[in-house]
Amino acid sequence: MRANRSVRLAVPLSMAALLLPSVSGAAERPPNVVLVFADDLGYGDVGVFGAQGYSTPHIDRLAAEGVRFTDFYVAQAVCTASRAALLTGAYPQRVGLTGAVDHRARHGISAEETTLAEMLKKGGYATAIYGKWHLGHLPPFLPTRHGFDDYYGLPYSNDMWPFHPERPGDYPPLPLIEGEETVETNPDQSQLTGEYGRRAVAFIEAHRDEPFFVYLAHSMPHVPIFASEAFRGRTPRGLFGDVIEEIDDTVGRILDTLERLGLDESTLVIFTSDNGPWLSYGDHAGSAGPLREGKGTSFDGGVGVPFLARWPGRIPAGTVVTEPAMTIDLLPTIGRLAGAPLPELPIDGKDIGPLLLGDPGAVSPHEALFFYWGRHLQAVRSGRWKLHFPHEYRSLDGPPGSGGMPGRYTQRSIGLALFDLRVDRSETTDVAAQHPDVVKRLEALAEEARKDLGDSATEQKGTGVREPGRAP
Ligand code: MG
C-alpha cells in the first residue's frame, strides 16, 4: 500500500483559494467545517437510514440538501482507534492507537502526527472541539496540544466512571475538562449534549468572519445514556430515542446559526459516528439496521456508519453515494478543499472530493479498505467484495440487556469467507467457493497491507507503523 501523496497541495493558501471553483461570493474563502461525530450511533439510528420510534429531521436535512453515503466506514469499531483514524487520516494501527484508552493510559497521540485541526490551523482556521477526545488524557495528549484552540468535554468514554454498571471500582471520578483544566468531576451527563451544542454555536458566532473548524464529538449515545429534561420521555423508543433527538436538536441549532449568519454556502457540515451500536445494552443501544453484528466487530454492523454531508451550492441536494469510503479520507479531502498543507508523514486516506461533491461517475479512490481489530487484520473490502480472514468476534449470547445493564457476549468464529455486499450487505452468504479469483486478488491486497501495517495473526510488525506518544 502506498502512502497517499498524490493529493498533496504545496501551493500557498492564496493560490489554493484561486483553485477553488467559485459559486458565490460567500464561497470565496476556504469552507468552514462542522464535523458532528456521534458515539456508538449505529447505521440504522438516523431517520433517513431507517430509524424507528423517534425522528431526526435536522440530520435527515443534511442528506435531503446534500449527500448520503451508504457504504461509509470507520477504520476500527472502537472509540480510540476510530478517532485516531478520523483525526490523522491514517489507519489507527499505523499511528499506534488502538482499542479504547482509559485513565491508566500513559500514551496518546504522538506530537509527530498532524491532526485534522493542526492541518486546518496551518490553513488559517479557528478550531474547537466540544465533546469526547479519547486520544490520551494526560496533558501532552490533550486537544489543546494538538491543534484545537478551544476544548470542553470528556477526555475518554462517559462510562469510565465510578458508576460503571459492571466495574464500578475500576474508575476514578470522571473529569470534565475545559481547556486543560478539570472543571468538574462526575458531571451531570444529562447536560452534556446540550452544552456541547451551545458551545459549538457560540464558537461559530464568535468566528463568523474567519474560516472555522468545529468538531462536535458527542459523548452520547454511548452508555450510560442521558437526555436533558426537555427531551426525556419524548419518544416511543424510550430514553435512547430521546438522546438521539437531543443530538439532532444540536444539529438543528447549528444549521439555524449558519443560516442566520449567512454562512450556509461557505460551510461544509458532516454528520457521522465512531462505530456501530453496542448491542449488549439492548434498549440503551442503537441499531445496525440491516448490517451484521455491531460495535467491536469487523462486520459492517461494527464498522459501517451513517454518513451525511451538506454544503449548499457545492454538494447537489439529494445525492446518494454507494462507493465505499472511510473516515481516514476526511483529512485529505478537507485539506484539499481548504487549501491546507497535508501531513508530512504518510497517511492512508485519499481525497474523496469528487464523491462528496457528487461528481457524476466518481469512484472510490481506494483499491481496498482494510479492517483491523487492534493489530489483527480481520477483513478487506474492494469494490463490491468483502473478504473476512479467519477470526473470532463477539456476538450476543441470549437476550440483550436493558435499562442500562448489558447482556452477555460470547465469542464466535468465522473462517475465510467472501461476501458480495452489492447483493448481500448483511454478510450472510459465503461465496468464496464460487469466486476463487476474487479471493486470490483480495488475499494479495491483504498481503501488501501486512508488509506495511503488520498483522498480529501472521506475526508481522509492518514497516510503516509508528509509535504513539508516551508520557515521561
Ligand atoms: Mg464509540
What's the mean pLDDT when you consider all of the chain? 95
Cis peptide before 224 (omega within 30 of 0): yes
Asked whether residue 362 is assigned to any structural domain, the reply reads no
Tens of pLDDT, residue by residue over 297-310, are 999 999 999 999 99
Please tell me whether residues 82 and 222 are part of one structural domain. Answer: yes
- Residues known to be catalytic: 79, 134
CATH number of the domain residue 427 falls in = 3.30.1120
What is the DSSP pairing of strand 267-273 with strand 32-38? parallel
Tens of pLDDT, residue by residue over 206-245, are 999 999 999 999 999 999 999 999 999 999 999 999 999 9
Confidence of residue 324 (pLDDT cuts 50, 70, 90): very high
Say whether 363 sits in a helix, a strand or coil: coil
Q: Which long-range contacts (CB under 8 A, 24 or more apart) does 241-245 make?
A: 241/53, 241/54, 242/54, 243/193, 244/41, 244/45, 244/46, 244/51, 244/54, 244/56, 244/286, 245/54, 245/55, 245/56
404 within 8 A of 306, measured Cβ to Cβ? no
Region at 15 (left for phi over 0; alpha for psi -120 to 50; beta for the rest) = alpha
Tens of pLDDT, residue by residue over 397-413, are 999 999 999 999 999 99
Provide the whole-model pTM: 0.94
Task: Give the Å distance between the CA of 287 and the centre of ligand 1.
Answer: 13
Say whether 13 sits in a helix, a strand or coil: helix
CATH number of the domain residue 278 falls in = 3.40.720.10
Asked whether residue 361 is assigned to any structural domain, the reply reads no
Task: Give the Å distance between the CA of 301 and the centre of ligand 1.
Answer: 13
Tens of pLDDT, residue by residue over 47-105, are 999 999 999 999 999 999 999 999 999 999 999 999 999 999 999 999 999 999 999 99
Say whether 48 sits in a helix, a strand or coil: helix
Task: Give the Å distance between the CA of 415 and the centre of ligand 1.
Answer: 26
Tens of pLDDT, residue by residue over 416-428, are 999 999 999 999 9
Please tell me whether residues 75 and 196 are part of one structural domain. Answer: yes
Task: Give the Å distance between the CA of 40 and the centre of ligand 1.
Answer: 4
The domain in which residue 398 lies consists of 369-470
Cα dihedral 54/57/63/64 (nearest 10): 130
DSSP assignment of 206-263: HTTTS-EEEEEE--TTSSSP---TTTTT--TT-HHHHHHHHHHHHHHHHHHHHHHTT-
Q: How many CA atoms lie within 13 Å of 188's alpha carbon, on the beta-carbon side?
A: 7
Amino acid at 8: R
Last residue of a domain, one of 326, 356, 386: 356
Asked whether residue 254 is assigned to any structural domain, the reply reads yes
Please tell me whether residues 88 and 192 are part of one structural domain. Answer: yes
Please tell me whether residues 411 and 443 are part of one structural domain. Answer: yes
Asked whether residue 363 is assigned to any structural domain, the reply reads no
267 within 8 A of 33, measured Cβ to Cβ? yes
